[in-house]
Structure 1
Amino acid sequence: MYQLLNNLRVLEASSFVASPLAGLYLAQMGADVIRVDQIGGGPDFRRWPQAESGASFYWEGLNKGKKSLALDLARPEGREILKALATAPGDTGGVLLTNFPANGFLAYEGLAALRQDLILVRIMGQANGGSALDYTVNCAIGIPQMTGPETLAEPVNHVLPAWDLLTGAYSAFALLAALQHRQATGSGQEVRVPLSDVGIATIANLGQIAEVVVGGQNRPRYGNAVYGAFGRDFVTRDGRRLMIMAITARQWSGLIDVLGIGPAVAGIEASRKVSFAVDEGLRFLHRDALFPLVEAAVASRSAAELGEAFDKAGCCWGPYKTVLEAAGDPELVGANPVFSTIEQISGHSYPVPGAMATLPQLNRSLPTRAPRLGEHSDLILAEVLGMSSGQIGKLHDQRLIASA
């Protein structure tokens, strides 16, 4: 964690992936992020994967370094407390991150009447207010039709919630952009980030909308081959599977040298009147001839032998690993300064990441565990709203708030 945003307080009323992730990224850069949940936990509080106790590793991971306030949001009095926190005065506050409905009790117009310079970043499913999740967005923009073996008829979903992750990162960026605008002009605003817009805009930014509109047809499946470049998985003599890429000219020449296939590649170039030296697209178009060469050469060498030679030649490659293997990899986790082993609220100690960015001029702080639900309820109400211990005690008696 770094202290770049330590003059920023963000109230986060959210659940699932995108919104908590945006709050996590802000917290890892020093923001005081206050997560507000329903007493007893929101819909993601017990989400899988879980510890044997039922504690959610998922919830722990997305809420590291935040403070926790537990409110009864089903009652008007609890909602009023949330609104008061979101619109509390002061230069460091007036920032709300949420995926609550646009027309609910956190509607921008009502909150802006309480604080004119409020910044509200709202993560949505669809721009029209409709419901959407990562997997419904993914199927609607055509990705499952391009994923999987070439011979497969049905669509293939993938396990990485890519649009949730991009939406969370983009929302953190949009929040800071709105904050910079407020600092320059004094004006607040609502920023809406629909998951569906992030998904369709992203594939358009990658040229995939232009590809089908101009070409008039969908991109077919290519299995594990990387579209438009040389890249695929290959199996070594000792049965290890490696992902081997060659996008740049250096990577391509290094691959040829290591595998000793230069004369054979030159023969293909001569017979087909092409040059693979600088054009990655041509390597893809002629993969029917290139892949068998690489397959045979890789199959004749061990993974360790190839890995050492690839590294010396500046090739781009990577071994296929399970998540368990990756978790035990010193370079990825064990000796990686991004990770520290800390005890979480589940009672388990395991490696957790801090900020993914490295700032060489600043000291990297250790990541902080996720809070217990309601752990900071009293502290938040006292510090942000200036409530006395008697007032806070009364809210406990009324069961409007809860503590850990």
Structure 2
Amino acid sequence: MMTETSVRQRRGPLHGVRVLDLSRVLAGPFCSLILADLGAEVIKVEEIDDGDQTRTIPPFVGGESHYFLAINRNKRSVALDARTDRGRALLLELAKRCDIVLENFRPGVMERLGLGYETLKTLKPGLIVCSISGFGANNSMSAKPSFDLVTQALSGVMSINGYADGTPTKLGLPLGDIGGGVWAAIGVLAALNERNATGQGAHIDLSLLEGLMGFLGYLAEIYFVTGESPGRMGNSHHNIVPYGLMPVKDGHIVLALHVGSFWRNFCRAIDREDLITDARFRTVKDRHANRGELEQQIEAIMRTKTVAQWQQILDAADVPHGAVNSIGEAVSQPIVRERGFVREVQHPRAGVVKVLGNPLRFDGHSERSPVEPPPLLGQHTREVLGTLLGLESADIDRLVADKIIAEPARAARQE
């Protein structure tokens, strides 16, 4: 029987939790990324030939996709053909040894594969299964395909993004999928807490449409209260003024004057204390009612100085503001370096690769705990099947020969 090739260091509060991740692309893998960053052991199961679809998306470094590298650190990869009887049997055995199973097939696919919740529950009553799909299970749209862009369109999010005189615009971030991953992580952690109390597992049905709509918050409430859908505001806020992107002498800066004290600080900073007592702008309601006139005055003042000059003035006055960074500027800014949020990993093919770190910091856990590189396709197949299932090396060799499972050498020949 094989033994662990290395001792996995305790990396976070979820140490000891094991996740079987059957999901692909973004929503499910983003959930398992959160769990892995928190210390869970994540076993990512991939198809034996091509693996996760994100492995094929350019640009590449050392033959590895930027997309896959971005969301699969701290995970182990097992390449396995679940469509075969022996592959399915291996999956079921792995599930018995895990706490959580993640999947993002369309509803019904897991049942057709012989991996449905009732089957898994029989094998291990305490298992937590999270099923992520575009529209959730058991409804008129369950069988429809969906991706992030479809979710953004149907959720109403695109209708409020962009300028009033322009077309509906998708978000720059794939928030439908990423948000789904966040909701999934919340769901499985809640189910873990429930299991600690009752000993029972759970099946979580997560609709990505509802997940993104769950972020609408006060924007949905505007409709419920007024009967009118909020429209597109460009870089401005629907109700708070001034709050948005302001042109300055050499570019742009954002102002976020959400509460009265910041509004008053801003007026003093721009040497316009008269605006504080001006009846047209005294309250949030007043400033909203006179948006056009106020924004015109503020923009004229802001254009008189550069970004750097305004940063100095607004910092001194304790006014929430920010320069508009590119991605490169964002990941290189001093505060990000100061907190060590960008990490470096040594990848077996791509060499030294930079990845984003975990934004959650827990007292008592090292902020500089090791980050494992995103895995090669099937990199840990032999280790996981040997360690968890007790398979001998000869048994694993036969499974490789029969194309039930795969290792990196086979994956390389498929490229």
2:194 corresponds to: 181
Task: Give the distance between the partners of 1:255 and 1:48, measured in 2 at CA.
Answer: 46
2:131 corresponds, among 114, 122, 129, to 122
Q: Describe how 1:173-322 pairs up with structure 2 within 5 A.
A: 173-203=186-216, 206-230=217-241, 231-237=243-249, 239-264=250-275, 266=277, 269-270=278-279, 272=280, 275-276=282-283, 279=284, 281-322=285-326
Question: Of 7, 10, 18, which residue of structure 1 is paired with 2:16?
Answer: 7
The Cα shift of 1:22 comes to: 0.7
Does the C-alpha gap of structure 1 residues 390 and 202 become closer, same or farther in structure 2, counting only changes over 3 Å?
A: same
2:3 aligned residue:
none
Does structure 1 residue 347 correspond to structure 2 residue 350? yes
Which of residues 137, 155, 159 is equivalent to 2:151? 137
User: Which stretch of the first structure deviates more once superposed, 281-290 or 156-165?
Assistant: 281-290
Gap regions ≥5 residues in structure 1: none
Distance 1:47 1:313, change over 3 A: farther
Which stretches of structure 1, 4 residues or longer, exceed 4 Å deviation after superposition?
none
- Return 312-321 or 341-350, whichever deviates more: 341-350
Q: Distance in 2 between the 1:174 and 1:78 partners?
A: 28
* Deviation of the 1:53 alpha carbon: 5.1
Could you say what secondary structure the match of 1:373 adopts?
coil
2:133–2:208 Cα contact (<8 Å) kept: yes
Per-residue deviation, 1:264 = 4.7
After TM superposition, the score normalised by the length of structure 1 is 0.90
Q: Residues 242 and 345 of structure 1: is their aligned pair in 2 closer, same or farther, counting only changes over 3 Å?
A: farther
8 A contact 2:44–2:76 mirrored in 1: yes
CA contact (8 A) 1:261 1:293 kept: no
AA partner of residue 208 (structure 1): L
2:53 to 44, 57, 64: 44
1:373 corresponds to: 377
The CA RMSD measured in Å over matched residues stands at 2.0
Deviations 1:261-301 (A, max 9, x none): 222554xx23x4x623xx3x433332212112211211112
Please state how far the C-alpha of 1:242 moved relative to its aligned partner. Answer: 0.3
1:221-267, Cα deviation, whole Å (9 max, x unpaired): 22211121121211222x1210111012221111111111222554x
Q: What are structure 2's unaligned runs of at least 5 residues?
A: 1-9, 409-415
CA distance in 1: counterparts of 2:286 and 2:30, whole angstroms: 39
Residue 6 of structure 2 aligns with which residue?
Answer: none
The superposition leaves residues 136-186 of structure 1 with CA deviations (integer Å, 9 ceiling, x where unpaired) of: 11111222222212212x321222111211211111121111122222212
Map of 2:184 onto structure 1: 171
Contact 1:12–1:23 (8 Å) recurs in 2: yes
Q: Give the structure 2 partner of residue 61 of structure 1.
A: 70
* Contact 2:61–2:350 (CA under 8 A) maintained in structure 1: no
1:360 aligns with: 363
In 2, Cα distance between equivalents of 1:15 and 1:285:
48
Preserved contact between residue 339 and residue 354 of structure 1 (Cα < 8 Å): yes
Q: 1:351 to 1:282 in 2, by over 3 A?
A: farther
For the residues of structure 2 that align with 1:265 and 1:360, how far apart are their CA atoms?
A: 42
Q: Output the CA distance in 2 between the equivalents of 1:319 and 1:133.
A: 32
Q: Which of 73, 83, 86 is the equivalent residue of 2:82?
A: 73
How far residue 38 of structure 1 moved from its aligned partner, in angstroms, is 0.3
What is the rounded CA distance, in whole Å, between the counterparts of 1:288 and 1:345 in structure 2? 57
C-alpha distance 158-340 of structure 1, shift in aligned 2 (>3 A):
same
Shift of 1:346: 5.2
Q: Evaluate the alpha carbon distance shift between residue 290 and residue 348 of structure 1 in structure 2; reply closer, same or farther with a 3 A threshold.
A: farther
Quote how far apart the aligned CAs of 1:43 are.
4.7
| SS of equivalent to 2:339 | coil
Output the amino acid matched with 1:221.
R
Deviations 1:53-92 (A, max 9, x none): 552111111110001101123323212211221123xxxx
SS in 2 for 1:60: helix
Q: Which residue is equivalent to 1:327?
A: 331
1:345: how far off?
Answer: 5.0
Q: Distance in 2 between matches of 1:361 and 1:293?
A: 50
Residue 188 of structure 1, CA deviation: 1.4
What amino acid is aligned across from residue 164 of structure 2 in structure 1?
E
Partner of 2:388: 384
SS of corresponding position for 2:233: coil
Question: Structure 1's 313 and 124: CA in aligned 2 closer, same or farther, altered over 3 A?
Answer: same
Q: Distance in 2 between matches of 1:101 and 1:346?
A: 33
Q: Distance in 2 between matches of 1:358 and 1:58?
A: 25
CA contact (8 A) 1:60 1:344 kept: no
What do residues 6-51 of structure 1 show as CA deviations (whole Å, max 9, x unaligned)?
1111110111111001101111111110000001233523343422
| Secondary structure in 2 matching 1:45 | helix
Other structure's SS at 1:46 match:
helix
Comparing 394-403 with 94-103, greater Cα deviation is found at 94-103
